[in-house]
C-alpha cells in the first residue's frame, strides 16, 4: 500500500508544485481512484470559488521562493549559512520546480561565462604567441 496523499499534496499538485516523481505517482493514482479524484475536484472547485488555503496562496505567489539574486549568490557560496540551508531545503526537499529551473538556468549561465573567460584567455595567449613568433 503506497503512502496516501494529503490535502497539501493535492494543493501542490494543482499548483504544479509537487516534485515530478510525486506528480507522476498522483496522476497514476488518480486514474483508478475515484475518491481521490473527487477530493481533487472539490479542492479545484473551492479554488475557483475563491477559497484558498494559506498554503495555496503562498505557493501561488511563490512567497517562499528565494529571489533570483539569492539563488545566484547561493551558487557562488555567498549567502549566510541559514539562507543556504533554507534554499537547499526549498530546492532539494520541497523540490520547487520553479527554483530548480531558475538554478539550472543560472548554472548554465555561469558555466557559459567561465567558458567565455577561458576562450578570451586562450585568444590572448594565441595572439601573443603569434606576436612573439613573428618578432625578430
Ligand atoms: Zn521556489
Provide the phi-psi class of 16: left if phi over 0, else alpha when psi is between -120 and 50, else beta.
left
How many A from CA of 114 to the centre of ligand 1? 26
CA of 117 to the centre of ligand 1 (A): 30
| Mean pLDDT confidence for 13-24 | 85
Question: pLDDT of 45-57, one tens digit each?
Answer: 887 776 666 566 5
**What is the Å distance from ligand 1's center to 81 Cα?**
18
Q: If you measure from the C-alpha of residue 103 to the centroid of ligand 1, how many angstroms do you get, rounded to a whole number?
A: 10
> 4: which 3 cell numbers?
496516501
Q: For residue 110, report the distance from its CA to the centre of ligand 1, in Å.
A: 20
Centre of ligand 1 from the C-alpha of residue 80, in Å: 18
Q: How many CB atoms lie within 10 A of CB 83?
A: 14
Give me the pLDDT at residue 136, please: 54
Provide the percentage of residues in the chain whose pLDDT is more than 90: 17
Distance CA 68, CA 80 (A): 16
- Can you tell me the distance from the alpha carbon of 120 to that of 114, in angstroms, rounded to the nearest whole number? 10
pLDDT per position as a tens digit, 73-103: 999 999 998 889 889 988 888 888 889 999 9
How high is the pLDDT of residue 79? Answer: 92
H/E element, 28: helix 20-31
DSSP letters, 10-58, are HHHHHTT-S-HHHHHHHHHHHHT-HHHHHHHHHHHHHHHTT---HHHHH
Distance 16 CA to ligand 1 centre (A): 12
Global pTM reads 0.44
Amino acid at each position: 500500500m503506497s503512502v496516501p496523499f494529503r490535502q497539501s499534496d493535492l494543493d501542490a499538485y494543482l499548483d504544479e508544485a509537487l516534485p515530478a516523481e510525486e506528480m507522476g505517482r498522483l496522476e497514476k493514482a488518480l486514474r483508478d481512484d475515484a475518491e481521490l479524484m473527487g477530493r481533487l475536484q472539490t479542492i479545484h472547485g473551492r479554488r475557483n470559488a475563491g477559497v484558498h488555503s494559506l498554503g495555496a496562496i503562498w505557493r501561488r505567489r511563490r512567497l517562499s521562493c528565494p529571489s533570483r539574486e539569492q539563488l545566484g549568490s547561493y551558487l557562488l557560496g555567498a549567502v549566510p549559512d541559514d539562507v543556504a540551508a533554507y534554499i537547499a531545503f526549498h530546492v532539494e526537499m520541497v523540490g520547487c520546480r520553479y527554483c530548480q529551473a531558475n538554478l539550472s538556468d543560472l548554472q548554465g549561465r555561469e558555466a557559459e561565462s567561465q567558458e567565455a573567460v577561458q576562450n578570451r584567455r586562450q585568444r590572448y595567449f594565441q595572439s601573443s604567441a603569434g606576436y612573439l613568433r613573428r618578432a625578430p
